[in-house]
Structure 1
């Protein structure tokens, strides 16, 4: 899943970025309101984490513009502004949740999962097509009796495929679910991850459609 992180504080932004990457999210980090609006217009995100005290364009104005354009983007406001009036303003403008700094990363991740579930785009407790199963809580995957704990990027790849069983995903589509803008992606990175997953779960856990991409089977029932 792809996250837009809008945060001008370098220390906070770097910490949240690393935590989200460790949790298998692909993250794009921008540091002002102008870049946030540009990113939202140029990319599709599953959720945005929005600071309010931003340079150039305030976070509340970013939120106001996004909602005026009827962009259906879940937004969690992350801010040091803890006054009731600020929380009310953010929620009234269309924020889906509001988290006051400083916060625990575990709580942020839990709130993200909750918002995504409400939007219908979050992962269920276990993703499965009837043969391949993926547990987001533990990153454990099971296929035909073989069990393995996946790395963050292996998990992101399998999750992307299981969210659309039967669909063929291209290299570009998979890279988009695994890597953020600033991450260097080697030309064979997806193939490397697929090889690693197959080594753990079996050669047919992920199927290759030559010249097109990769897929997992449709649900068996």
Structure 2
């Protein structure tokens, strides 16, 4: 999978991509992450990328030319046809595991990170295929939401995690929250590991985990069960 990120702040991504799971996936050529500084594509002599909104209002809006030129560069360089272009926006549909699974099947994904008061609507009309939000709150820019999505999507790509089972029992798989996890020591501050997990009986362990997942989901996210 190749991930493209259009942003005004590419350094935000470099630190994260250079660590842990993402670093290994890139080194093993399972993932390719390309960063593009939108400002580099500005035709303004001062490399300006924003302007005042028509009709008035607070803040600045990202102008269409630098973004569109960045997009054209990506599409032409990699010979992409109708790629998925995701604009991170509080107005978008809320990101979830099902969307992550769907996007993990793509060969190329382009993330567009807005800033200031957002981007010119004409860019959304021309190139954006998906407007996605990570929650009902507002952030300074689209960089953090993009990182959240990239992490969630990347770990579903075959080979990124050590074992395919690593994500199959996690929260939101099968619309259930994950069961409790325990490790050594068996006793800590008076709290014991459930005996069933020490029994070696895998059938009973699976049953316990299933029951715990359903109980936790019913208590904390009953909306998932209603789906």
Relative to the length of structure 2, the TM-score reads 0.31
| Structure showing greater relative contact order (alpha-carbon pairs closer than 8 Å, 6 or more residues apart) | 2
Relative to the length of structure 1, the TM-score reads 0.32
Structure 1 or 2, whichever has the larger Rg, is: 2
